[in-house]
Amino acid sequence: MSILKPEGSLTLGAATAAVVYAAYTFNLPNVATMTATLPHDSNIDSARKRAAWTSAGAVIVVSALAKDKTIFVLGGLTLVALDWHARHANGIHPETGKTVAATPKSYMPAQQVAEAPATPSYAGFAM
């Protein structure tokens, strides 16, 4: 049972959507920068995840405190839309302007990795 009147519910829902928008705005670069970088940049993806978790936390806390579904729906839809927008912008190749499928990171089993170089000797150096 909501503790807000319908107009208060919509106002707080819009405010929660603004908080979600602010989280994405402050955590991610603008779309022009994201599309100018190589697709599936790990730093942009990390920032997107941080914005998504921050936004989800804000939406859940505000909607739980107000006991209102409208706030959850408005904030959640805003979160989904902005997250999709950021994922799409991060997947565009700057030369072609088209979305590129994500390829798995170069994986090499530990048995095939070259050994690390030996630690240099510091004998004769004063410490």
**Contact status, residue 2 vs residue 64, Cβ threshold 8 Å:** no
Q: What is the pLDDT of residues 23-71, one digit of tens each?
A: 999 999 999 999 999 999 999 999 999 999 999 999 999 999 999 999 9
Residue 122 lies in a domain: no
Q: Is the pLDDT of residue 108 over 60?
A: no
3-state secondary structure of 120: coil
Q: State the residue range of the domain holding 29.
A: 6-112
Q: In whole angstroms, what separates CA 106 from the centre of its chain?
A: 22
pTM over 0.85: no
Comparing 56-60, 70-74, 107-111, which segment has the lowest mean pLDDT?
Answer: 107-111
Q: Output the CA torsion sign for 80, 45, 33, 106.
A: negative
Q: Is the pLDDT of residue 6 over 60?
A: yes
Q: Is the pLDDT of residue 7 over 90?
A: no
Domain count, the chain: 1
Q: How far apart are CA 114 and CA 117, in angstroms?
A: 9
